[in-house]
Amino acid sequence: MASADSPRKLNLAVLISGGGSNLQSILDACKEKGYPAQVRVVISNTSDAYGLIRAQEAGVPAITISHKDFDSRTEFENALNNELADYDIDLICLAGFMRILTPDFITKWSRKIINTHPSLLPKFGGEGMYGMRVHQAVLEAGETESGSTIHYVIPEVDKGEIILQKRVNIHSHDTPETLAKRVLASEHIAYPEAIKQIALKIGF
Ligand code: GRF
């Protein structure tokens, strides 16, 4: 409970589908003294996501809601909403969450869902632009820099307002894999920073 010694923090839900290295960067930031947010719950749509173990190790409830158990996106999202309702969530952080959310869900959580994308949006975003495809496209386009973008989620994929970006240089010998590694490291800095920025902006 909040008191003078423990001010109320921004309550986060982190949604994942995989390794959860971005989740880890958020969990680590939350351990820092004075960081204005805390992870209340981690939800994965796949039961074997390593991020679930990261959550357990941090003492955070780790829940699987498999989209395969539901007949429609709406039913899956109703289950998500039921779970989120238990944790007084202020902000949903998508961190490698590989499901497209419906406009209904996004509207319900308007300005309360953020995402990380591994390029300098608006470049190399949109439906189908994920994972190694992004880095492949960046290299094929002959870009000299790439990076990460933390943005609000709106129904149009990767089109929401940008909160912050981190740039990385592209090296002449880069492959999609080497570039991916550098961009991921930049996301690990960007995501906790963006959450802090939002928390401070709304007065936490
Ligand atoms: C990140 O590069 C993110 O931008 C993309 O998927 C990756 C997730 O990595 N959507 P992790 O699961 O946080 O390690």
pTM of the model: 0.96
Q: Does ligand 1 lie within 6 Å of residue 22's CB atom?
A: yes
Q: What is the pLDDT of residues 104-121, one digit of tens each?
A: 999 999 999 999 999 999
Q: Which CATH class is domain 10-120+149-165+188-202?
A: alpha beta
Q: Does ligand 1 lie within 6 Å of residue 21's CB atom?
A: yes
**Catalytic site residue 151?**
no
Atom number, ligand 1, closest to the C-alpha of residue 21: 14
CA-based end-to-end distance of the chain: 15
Residue 19 CA to ligand 1 centre (angstroms): 8
Write the residue with the smallest CA distance to atom 12 of ligand 1. Answer: 20
Q: Where are the domains of the chain?
A: 10-120+149-165+188-202
How far lies 61's CA from each of 31, 96, 116, 142, 195, in Å? 16, 18, 22, 43, 20
- 1 pLDDT tier (thresholds 50, 70, 90): very low
Q: Does ligand 1 lie within 6 Å of residue 96's CB atom?
A: yes
> Which mutation among 42, 45, 97, 116 tests ligand 1's pocket best, with the greatest number of atoms within 8 A of CB?
116
Q: What is the pLDDT of residues 144-159, one digit of tens each?
A: 999 999 999 999 999 9
